[in-house]
Amino acid sequence: MTSFETFAEVCKKIKGISSSLEMTTVVASFLNEVDDNELDIATRFIMGSVFPVWSEKELGVGTGLLYAAIAKTSSLPVRRIEELVKETGDVGTAAEKAITNRKANFNFFSEEKLSILDVFSRFQKIAGLEGKGSQDAKIKNLQYLFGASKPVETVYLARLAVEELRIGVGEGILRNAIAEAFNVPAELVERGYMIANDFGLVAYTAKKEGAPGLLELSVVTGRPLKLMLAQVGDGIDEALAEMSSVAVEWKFDGARVQIHKEGNKITLYSRRLENVTSSLPDIVKSVRTCVKADTAILDGEAVALGKDKRPMAFQEILRRFRRKYDVTATALEIPLSLNLFDLLYLNGESLIDIPLFERRKKLEEICDKSIVAGQTITESAAQIDVIYKEALAAGHEGVMLKNPRSLYTPGKRGKNWLKLKPIMDTLDLVVVGGEWGEGRRTSFIGSYLLACRDPYTDRLHSIGRVATGITDEKLEELTAVFKDLVLLETGVHVEFEPKIVFEVAFEEIQKSQNYDSGYALRFPRLVNVRSDKSLYDADTIEKVEQLYSKQKGK
Ligand code: AMP
């Protein structure tokens, strides 16, 4: 049985390492150390999660609850805990400071030794608590755990409770660590993970059955597989040159759903493979009435169509996907329709290794036409262009050009699915703030807060954050530049003198309450640091408004 202290010491060790190879080795030896029945907990804990993302279980511990538990354990007021978090910028260190000092006075718990299984089963208990009195009961359970933990355990217990471990172990490191620990090729671990979406199962299989076992991992209903993703295409002619004939579909402006049907049981997963079944009863109903198959896994896009039959804003769909209460009322307000474009499993058999055109044939056989996305197979650039223009005219994003002979490759962004959409402009925005990074990036500013200008008042209005498109080397360089511009630092948040302009690309401008410009950027990416531009050359709020209204002819 592995103690929670061992886990916490491993986390502490990893936190001090910057080389990912070294991190991998430490994780590998930890995986070698834990018992077989602890592998699934160990693989999740080390990445900072408690339950699989696709399970319906949620820990439901927010910072408020955590602070209350730390306050109760330490007999300090919540206000003091909040101060400690501000001072240290980390709930773990704050918990340690609060609880360790206090525990010098009473050590009746010190005989107890927590195991990782103990911690997990307490977390399970916490996740199962609902209704009246559940907050207090959750706090009591956390208090028990804190009471039984040593200082190093306190740090990682607090972080795990809010699922923010911040030690920098991501999917890549864990994949390589499983390969190293159990002496199997990393590609097979990767393949297993894409199909099973469960590192615990992959690690267990690697340990017990080696490479042959990993090869046998297959698609099953009830466990979502990673989604196949699309690359940005260079253009219609280039796609035709690559694929000769192309399967063209609208690129719907909606949200991805993976649907599992097991007899009467229908389960829906979001793009992040979270279980969203209870939020989307209308989609469940469509599947129940329009899919004729005993077991199936379907892939598609849910779209919210307004009264004008045009897609509603992306945020409206997100409201549906996140809704836990008043689901029926929200469903009436934002009705969803389904556009299925793939079939990954049918009546006991995985279909991911047969070509798209065959999967499509079966999809059409089992589904009512009303829920299947239109598809045209063509070799004609002119025909593709017509479909592209129709999609845009209907308010959708563009088209997807798919290779009809391609297999379904879970989790891969490859050349077999190309997306074609109008190119958006870039914006030149002033950097007004930042946030220290996590994991490997703790010593760098990991994300930058951007703002546009109001030329009349000279005020700056925030519009989003950018963290993508920046290499580690660049981050280091930028951190050095911004060091001289710090105005204020509170925990991980930093405010900068507005001097540096970033050229930022993005996929879309959205209305948003989160930033004071009233807009936000979807998928922002740093293109260039415009050292040739000053604050006064940055783009204005008017330009943002213009671009917003240009989108999809709004
Ligand atoms: P992107 O999010 O820009 O990388 O584009 C890929 C996303 O487009 C997918 O994850 C789907 O959510 C969405 N999508 C819309 N229509 C289709 C389609 N016909 N085939 C595949 N994906 C689609």
pLDDT value of position 106: 46
Instruction: Provide the CA 345 distance to its chain's centre, in angstroms.
Output: 24
Q: What is the pTM of this model?
A: 0.74
Task: With a cut of 50, say whether residue 211 has pLDDT above it.
Answer: yes
Please, which pLDDT band fits residue 102 given cuts at 50, 70 and 90? low
Q: Give yes or no for residue 453 having a pLDDT over 80.
A: yes
pLDDT attached to residue 369: 97
For tokens 């002979």, what's the residue?
405
CA of 350 to the centre of ligand 1 (A): 22
Q: Do 28 and 203 contact (CB within 8 A), yes or no?
A: no
- Please enumerate in sequence order all residues whose Cβ is within 8 A of that of 217, keeping only pairs 6 or more positions apart, or say none: 191, 192, 195, 196, 201, 202, 205
Quick one: 229-420 is in which CATH superfamily?
Answer: DNA ligase/mRNA capping enzyme (3.30.470.30)
From ligand 1's centre to the CA of 67, what distance in Å? 40
Which of 225, 229, 256, 342 has the most ligand 1 atoms within 8 A of CB, as the residue to mutate? 256
Strand partners, 503: 428, 528
Distances (CA, A) of 527 to 347, 466, 508, 524: 47, 10, 15, 9
Catalytic residue among 103, 150, 251, 421: 251
* Range of 307-311, 375-379, 479-483, 501-505 with top mean pLDDT: 375-379
Q: CA 369: distance to chain centroid? A: 32
Report domain extents, the chain: 49-161, 229-420, 427-550
Q: What is the pLDDT of residues 56-98, one digit of tens each?
A: 888 989 889 999 999 999 999 999 999 998 888 889 999 999 9
pLDDT at 124 over 50: yes
Q: Give me the mean pLDDT over the 273-296 stretch.
A: 95
554: pLDDT confidence band, cut at 50, 70 and 90? Answer: very low
Pocket test for ligand 1, best of 229, 251, 342, 421 (most atoms within 8 A of CB): 251
Share of residues in the chain with pLDDT > 90 (%): 69
Residue 339 banded pLDDT, cuts 50, 70, 90: very high
Mean pLDDT of 473-494: 86
pLDDT of the residue at 86: 85
State pLDDT tens for residues 126-183: 999 988 899 999 999 999 999 999 999 999 999 999 988 888 898 899 999 999 999 9
Residue 111 has pLDDT above 60, yes or no: no
- Has residue 109 got a pLDDT over 70? no
Q: Is pLDDT larger for residue 16 or for residue 368?
A: 368
Segment 492-499 mean pLDDT: 91
Mean pLDDT of 447-465: 91
Output the CA angle 401-240-297, nearest 5 degrees.
30
Q: What is the mean pLDDT of residues 197-206?
A: 96
Cα(7)–Cα(152) distance, integer angstroms: 10
Q: What is the structure's pLDDT at 272?
A: 84
* Amino acid at position 336, single letter: L
Q: Which atom of ligand 1 is nearest to the CA of 421?
A: 3
Average pLDDT, integer, range 503-526: 91
Q: What is the rounded distance in angstroms from the CA atom of residue 61 to the CA atom of residue 49?
A: 12
Q: Which CATH architecture has domain 49-161?
A: Orthogonal Bundle (1.10)
Q: Quote the pLDDT of residue 105.
A: 44
Whether the pLDDT of residue 108 is over 60: the answer is no
Mean pLDDT along residues 471-481: 85
**What pLDDT shows up at residue 89?**
83
pLDDT at 546: 83
Q: Which amino acid type is present at position 433?
A: G
> Would you give the DSSP letter of residue 344?
E
CA of 250 to the centre of ligand 1 (A): 9
Residue 103 has pLDDT above 70, yes or no: no
Is residue 51's pLDDT more than 60?
Answer: yes
CB-side exposure of 102: number of CA atoms within 13 Å? Answer: 20
Ligand 1 centroid to 298 CA: how many Å? 14
Which residue is closest in CA terms to ligand 1's atom 16? 251
- Work out which ligand 1 atom sits closest to the CA atom of 228: 10
Question: Domain 427-550, CATH 2.40.50.140 — does that match?
Answer: yes
Q: Is residue 362 annotated as a catalytic residue, yes or no?
A: no
- To 10 degrees, what angle do helices 63-74 and 78-88 make? 110
Q: What is the mean pLDDT of residues 346-375?
A: 97
Which of 400, 406, 522 gets mutated to test ligand 1 (max ligand atoms within 8 A of its CB)? Answer: 400
Query: How many A from CA of 386 to the centre of ligand 1?
Result: 19
Q: What residue type is assigned to position 92 of the chain?
A: G
Q: How many angstroms separate the alpha carbon of residue 251 from the centre of ligand 1?
A: 6
* Contact residues of ligand 1, CB 6 A cut-off: 229-230, 249, 251-252, 256, 301, 341, 373, 400, 419
Q: How far is CA 197 from CA 113, 274, 372, 521, in A?
A: 32, 12, 26, 30
Query: What pLDDT sits at residue 88?
Result: 87
**Predicted confidence band of residue 515 (pLDDT cuts 50, 70, 90):** very high
Residue 449: phi, psi to the nearest 5? -90, 130
Which whole number is the average pLDDT over 501-515? 91
pLDDT value, residue 328:
87
Contacts of 487 (CB under 8 A, 6+ apart): 495, 496, 497
The mean predicted confidence, pLDDT, of the chain is 91
pLDDT at 55: 84
Residue 435 has pLDDT above 70, yes or no: yes
